[in-house]
Amino acid sequence: MKFRCERDVLDRAFSVAARAISNRGSAPPVMSGLHLHLVGDNLAVVGSDLDLTIRVDSEVGGQEDGVAVLPAKLAADVVRSLDSGQVTVTIDDDGARVVAGRSDFNLRTMAADEFPKFEQPDGEAVTLDAESVSAALEQVVKAASGDDSRPILTGVLLAAEDDGLRFVATDSYRLAVRDLPGTSILGRDQTVLVPSRALEVTGRLLGDAEDLTIRLAEREASFEVADVTIVTRLIEGEFPNYRGLIPSGHPNSLVVDRVALIDAVRRVGLLARDATPVRLAMSADGLELIAITQDVGQAHETLDCTYEGNDLTVAFNPGYLLDGLEVSPGDEVRLETIDALKPAVIRSVGEEGFLYLLMPVRVS
């Protein structure tokens, strides 16, 4: 194999494909590598951990077709270290040679025939607007769990709704729900559970894209963004009944400027150490934020707001609270509460498509 291309082209291909590689010790050694396949002027770079696979297709100056596997981290670090400009890569039985300017690297290769073959799921291709999906993923993916011992909660539920597509994620402490009206990729009442890791990678790639193409098969899904294809295994199992978690009504309602509340939570949160919550004391007189940490100190801040209901103090994990506020659209948010122990709901005033539910923290 031999080809030439700009350093930035190869750097992007390697760094994006390498996001699929995990450090699981049970994986075969070849899975720590990047699979390169050159045909003509098309270089396909693939990284995989068997559950998640990322392929990047790049246009290069191909001189000799071939297949090879390079150690992912080392190859990516080498290419990233090079000066901008042309890079020549030559791979034969003796290894890989990477030359750019006065830099000359020789790398050992890995057994290409042991790397799994890249296969595209068979599902029908559906194209969505990249900007709207990107916003939905930013709002929802953070709420998924990172605990692999509860695999169901590490996924994002994609569900068919009467008027479009719904994204749902929960880690049992908070729940995020985002609707995309007029968007249809599933059959009536159909749901699929997609690993949040795959959607997080997809979301990073959507910034400058116009379209996202999705294919859903029985056990796999693929997401195509320009020259990148992400293939992931779907999670099998029953997602929690999230509808039952959302209260049907709230006796208390607080409306406050979203940015002002974010800034106040961040300031008061400086005194919330070692999992100390931030308390929100709500009354007709306004909103007071309080954080008290023994042997550290305490912080208080008041905000103007509109409040209807009984005087109430509710405590929240400040990080989880900020996660919901930061991705809520609009200038104002509504915090709906029942009491100090039942789930609270954050909604944007005038924006009905996003809901963020948060469990309070019990305090003495």
Tens-of-pLDDT digits for all 364 residues of the chain?
Answer: 999 999 999 999 999 999 999 876 667 889 999 999 999 999 999 999 999 999 999 999 999 999 999 999 999 999 999 999 999 999 999 999 999 999 999 999 999 999 999 888 888 888 999 999 999 999 999 999 998 889 999 999 998 887 788 999 999 999 999 998 887 777 777 889 999 999 999 999 998 889 999 998 889 999 999 999 999 999 999 999 999 989 888 999 999 999 999 999 999 999 988 789 999 999 999 999 999 988 889 999 999 999 999 999 999 999 999 999 999 999 999 999 999 999 999 999 988 899 999 999 998 7
Other Cβ atoms closer than 10 A to 138: 15
On the 0-12 / 13-18 / 19+ scale of CB atoms within 10 A, 190 is exposed
CB proximity list for 194: less than 8 A, separation 6 or greater: 155, 156, 158, 221, 232, 234, 235
* Residue 257 burial by Cβ neighbours in a 10 Å radius (0-12, 13-18, 19+): middle
Residue 285, both tokens: 């007189």
Structural domains in the chain, CATH included, are 2-114 (3.10.150.10), 125-244 (3.10.150.10), 247-358 (3.10.150.10)
d(CA 150, CA 154): 7
DSSP sequence for 67-112: EEEEEHHHHHHHHHHSPSSEEEEEEETTEEEEEETTEEEEE--B-G
The tokens of 167 are what? 């994204």
Q: Is the pTM of this model over 0.85?
A: yes
**Those residues with Cβ within 8 angstroms of residue 87's Cβ, 6 or more apart along the chain or in another chain:** 4, 5, 6, 7, 10, 79, 98, 99, 100
Specify whether the CB–CB gap between 253 and 308 falls below 8 A: yes
Give the C-alpha separation, 289 to 325, whole Å. Answer: 15
How far apart, in whole angstroms, are the C-alpha atoms of residue 39 and residue 76? 21
Record the tokens describing residue 358, joined without a space.
């948060």
CB 37 within 8 A of CB 127: no
Token pair 């709207």: residue:
132
